[in-house]
Amino acid sequence: MPSPFATEALGREVPVALRPDVSLPRRQRFHPSPADWRDEVLYFLLVDRFSDAKEDSRPLLDRRNRAAVRPNGHDGQSWRWDRWAESGAFRWQGGTLKGVKSKLDYLSGLGITTIWLSPVFKQRGHLDTFHGYGIQNFLDVEPRFGTRRDLVDLVDAAHQKGIRIILDIIFNHSGFNWVYPNGEKTPRFKHHPERFEFGSWLGRQGEQIGATIRAADEGVWPRELQDPDSYTRAGFGNLGAGSLDDPNAEHKRTDFFTLRDFDLDCAEVLANIAECFKYWIALSDCDGFRIDTLKHVSFENGRNFCGTIKEFATNIGKANFLLVGEVAGGDFAQDRFLSVLGRNLDAALDIGDMRPTLQNVAKGLVPADAYFSGFDPGRAQMGSHRNVGQRHVSILDDHDHVTGVKIRFSAEASTEEQVVAAVAIQLFSLGIPCIYYGTEQSFAGPEESERRYLPGYKGGDHADRYLREAMFGPLHPKRSGLDGLPEDRASRDSTVPGFGPFGTAGAHCFDRDFPPYRHIAALAAVRKRFPVLRQGRQYLRQISNFGAPFAFGGAGEVVAWSRILNDEEALCVVNAHGREARGGNVLIDAGLNPPGAH
Partner 1 sequence: LTVVANTGTSHPIGSRLEVRRLADGTAFVEIRGMRPSEVLLLVNHP
Query: Mask: binding to partner 1, 428-467, rule CB under 8 A, as x and -?
Result: x---------------------------------------
Binding status of residue 567 toward partner 1 by CB under 8 A: yes
Binding status of residue 579 toward partner 1 by CB under 8 A: yes
Q: Using alpha carbons, select from 19, 26, 17 the residue that is nearest to residue 311.
A: 26
Pick from 424, 435, 467, 540: which binds partner 1 (CB under 8 A)? 424
Q: Using alpha carbons, select from 392, 363, 432, 381 the residue that is nearest to residue 112.
A: 432
CA distances from 451 to 347, 448, 456, 496 (A): 36, 5, 10, 19
* Rounded least distance, CB 503 to partner 1, Å: 24
* Rounded least distance, CB 559 to partner 1, Å: 10
* Rounded least distance, CB 362 to partner 1, Å: 8
Binding status of residue 421 toward partner 1 by CB under 8 A: yes
Query: Mask: binding to partner 1, 135-174, rule CB under 8 A, as x and -?
Result: ----------------------------------------
- Residues in 323-362 that interact with partner 1 by CB under 8 A: 362
* Cα 327 to Cα 247: distance, rounded to the nearest angstrom: 15
Binding status of residue 213 toward partner 1 by CB under 8 A: no
Binding status of residue 598 toward partner 1 by CB under 8 A: yes
Phi, psi (rounded to 5 degrees) for 85: -65, -40
Which parts of 288-401 are beta strand (E)?
Answer: 288-291, 322-325, 347-349, 392-395
Q: Using alpha carbons, select from 159, 559, 173, 91 the residue that is nearest to residue 368.
A: 559
Q: Which amino acid is at 234?
A: A
* Rounded least distance, CB 424 to partner 1, Å: 4
- Residues in 478-517 that interact with partner 1 by CB under 8 A: none
* Rounded least distance, CB 107 to partner 1, Å: 20
Q: Using alpha carbons, select from 498, 512, 517, 508 the residue that is nearest to residue 439.
A: 517
* Cα 298 to Cα 139: distance, rounded to the nearest angstrom: 24
How many C-beta neighbours within 10 Å does residue 247 have?
Answer: 17
Q: Name which of 384 and 544 has its Cβ closer to partner 1.
A: 544
Q: Name which of 210 and 591 has its Cβ closer to partner 1.
A: 591
Element (H, E) at 147: none
Pick from 532, 538, 540, 553: which binds partner 1 (CB under 8 A)? 532
Binding status of residue 555 toward partner 1 by CB under 8 A: no
* Rounded least distance, CB 150 to partner 1, Å: 37
Pick from 177, 200, 272, 575: which binds partner 1 (CB under 8 A)? 575
The stretch near partner 1 (CB under 8 A) out of 198-206, 229-237, 338-346, 583-591 is: 583-591
Three-state secondary structure readout of 422-433: HHHHHHHCCCEE
Pick from 526, 528, 535, 552: which binds partner 1 (CB under 8 A)? 526
Q: Name which of 93 and 418 has its Cβ closer to partner 1.
A: 418
* Cα 86 to Cα 274: distance, rounded to the nearest angstrom: 36
The stretch near partner 1 (CB under 8 A) out of 184-192, 299-307, 486-494, 589-597 is: 589-597
How many residues contact partner 1, by CB under 8 A? 51
Query: Mask: binding to partner 1, 375-414, rule CB under 8 A, as x and -?
Result: ---------------------------------------x
Pick from 120, 341, 407, 574: which binds partner 1 (CB under 8 A)? 574
Q: Are 150 and 98 in contact (CB under 8 A)?
A: yes
Alpha helices, H only, 410-563: 416-428, 515-529, 532-535
Q: Are 435 and 41 in contact (CB under 8 A)?
A: yes
The stretch near partner 1 (CB under 8 A) out of 27-35, 185-193, 223-231, 584-592 is: 584-592
Q: Name which of 98 and 582 has its Cβ closer to partner 1.
A: 582
Element (H, E) at 554: none
Binding status of residue 584 toward partner 1 by CB under 8 A: yes
CA distances from 465 to 229, 456, 470, 534 (A): 35, 9, 10, 33
Q: Name which of 244 and 532 has its Cβ closer to partner 1.
A: 532
* Cα 152 to Cα 160: distance, rounded to the nearest angstrom: 12
Binding status of residue 585 toward partner 1 by CB under 8 A: yes
Burial 19-40 (b: 16+ CB within 10 A, else e): eebbeebeeeebbebbeebbbb
Q: Name which of 73 and 578 has its Cβ closer to partner 1.
A: 578
Cα-Cα-Cα-Cα torsion 34, 37, 42, 45, nearest 10 degrees, comes to 80
* Rounded least distance, CB 549 to partner 1, Å: 10
* Cα 348 to Cα 578: distance, rounded to the nearest angstrom: 30
* Rounded least distance, CB 420 to partner 1, Å: 6
* Cα 172 to Cα 182: distance, rounded to the nearest angstrom: 25
Q: Using alpha carbons, select from 296, 255, 274 the residue that is nearest to residue 344.
A: 274
* Rounded least distance, CB 542 to partner 1, Å: 9
The contact set with partner 1 (CB under 8 A) reads 362, 414-415, 417-418, 420-421, 424, 428, 519, 522-523, 526, 529-530, 532-533, 544, 550, 558, 567-590, 592-598
